[in-house]
Amino acid sequence: MRAWKWLGLAGILAGVATGAAVARDERVRRHYEPSEIRERLHRRHDEAVAREAGADGPPVAPGS
């Protein structure tokens, strides 16, 4: 019976540690300014379009 108590305690501690890590990541994520997020998304989009254009030929304009 004593082993089950230790196993339960280990599970609880693992849950607490996971929650602390998620909270820390959330604080870091919320630190970004909206303009920073927008700029990063635009940069990632441009890189994806450039990769796609290099693989398939010239890019096609949206709506064409």
At 26, give phi and psi (nearest 5°).
-65, -40
Listed by start position, the domains of the chain span: 2-53
pLDDT in tens, 7-58: 999 999 999 999 999 998 888 778 888 899 899 999 999 999 999 888 765 5
The pLDDT of residue 58 is: 56
- pLDDT for res 21: 92
When pLDDT is cut at 50, 70 and 90, the band that residue 61 belongs to is: low
State the Cα–Cα distance between residues 11 and 13, nearest whole angstrom: 5
How far lies 34's CA from each of 2, 3, 9, 30, in Å? 52, 50, 41, 10
Instruction: Quote the pLDDT of residue 44.
Output: 96
Question: DSSP H helical segments within the chain, as ranges?
Answer: 2-30, 34-56
